[in-house]
Structure 1
Amino acid sequence: MTGGGHGGGADDWLRLDRQVCFPLYAATNLMQRLYRPLLAPLGLTYSQYLVLLLLWERGSATVGELRDCLYLDPGTITPLLKRMERASLVTRSRDNEDERRVIVALTPHAIALREEAKRIPETLAARIGIDAAKGAELRDATTSLVERLRSLVLPDVA
């Protein structure tokens, strides 16, 4: 069905419901809204949660590694890490081997939050009514899309 008196053809590609980007954008926004009440008791934003997920996995990482893994630009990652440092979630320190690099590490407070955060993925999966197999399928499909997009937007990143 076309709206607004427009016929078919090339104009149909400009309909919102024909865009691939819009359902991804909407899903991201709605997913973040679902996370908000789960993260609020921990005092975390969604972006902070993503940083912590990486650091809980790795222990520490450089600012560049965090930026690359989360697909953030320098103007976004630095203020985010400064807020996390003020909230006693991370520490930032210069790398002794290369002073240009800044290493981000977990604080004891952030390490303790990991235990409280363990319930979040299961709670979220239950809320959206998705089983493990369907969740893995969706994750694999979106991961494949992210990799394809990454190679187009960031071709020099290995």
Structure 2
Amino acid sequence: MSDSDDSRAPVVGDPAEPPLLLDDQFCFTLYAASRAVTGVYRPLLDEVGLTYPQYLVMLALWQHGTAPVKDLVTALQLDYGTLTPLIKRLETHGLLKRQRRADDERVVEVALTPEGAALRRRISNVPVAIGDAMGLTPEEIRTAQDLLRRLTANATRRPADATRRPAGAEPSGTAS
């Protein structure tokens, strides 16, 4: 494309509209931070054969012990279609087992195996290594967690139709 072909030039935006700059978008900041943090976990978890989502399942089980799949769905904020394959892979690796509750066979519970319980000791250094990699003080980490928990609660409780603005309505801030 030549410089003189203005009809094909990319549309930068209407000067009357606020610019949509990638680095100004809150959603991109969250996305980039999430990918960066997950990237720090990867080599630490590779040493024990876990993916980051599998690690989250194990954390929930180390905290709560035996848990119904439904409770794990809630705790991890995942859907059944995402959680079930994670559980199956962890079961294949001998870290947990699924069983139906004796008093209600409709309920599938997930329990740690002895190998799954022992894994906790093998990766006890992970939270410290992650904390060091973040370069934040414990207070800054708590503040960030509090803000992100509030953001999550606000975003999940907001009805989908409330997030739609009529054409021409003023935005309340850069929260894309």
TM-score (norm 2): 0.78
Structure 1 residue runs of 5 or longer lacking an equivalent are: none
2:13 is matched with which residue? 6
Amino acid at match of 2:79: D
Query: Which aligned pairs between 1:93-108 and structure 2 lie closer than 5 A?
Result: 93-108=99-114
Residues 1:82 and 2:71 aligned together:
no
In 2: Cα distance, 1:122 partner to 1:143 partner? 21
Out of 132, 140, 143, the residue aligned to residue 134 of structure 1 is: 140
Q: Which has the higher helix share?
A: 1
Amino acid at match of 2:114: P
1:39 is matched with which residue? 45
Structure 2 SS opposite 1:42: coil
Structure 1 SS opposite 2:47: helix
Q: Report which structure shows greater RCO (CA 8 Å, sep ≥6).
A: 2
1:114 Cα deviation after fit: 0.6
Out of 67, 78, 94, the residue aligned to residue 73 of structure 2 is: 67
Q: After TM superposition, which residue ranges in structure 1, 4 or more long, deviate above 4 angstroms?
A: none
Look at both structures and tell me which one has the larger radius of gyration over its CA atoms: 2
Count of residues paired in the alignment: 151
Structure 2 residue runs of 5 or longer lacking an equivalent are: 1-9, 161-176
In 2: Cα distance, 1:118 partner to 1:89 partner? 16
Amino acid at match of 1:83: R
Amino acid at match of 1:85: E
Cα pair distance change 1:115/1:10, threshold 3 Å: same
1:121 is matched with which residue? 127
Cα pair distance change 1:101/1:8, threshold 3 Å: farther
1:11 Cα deviation after fit: 5.4
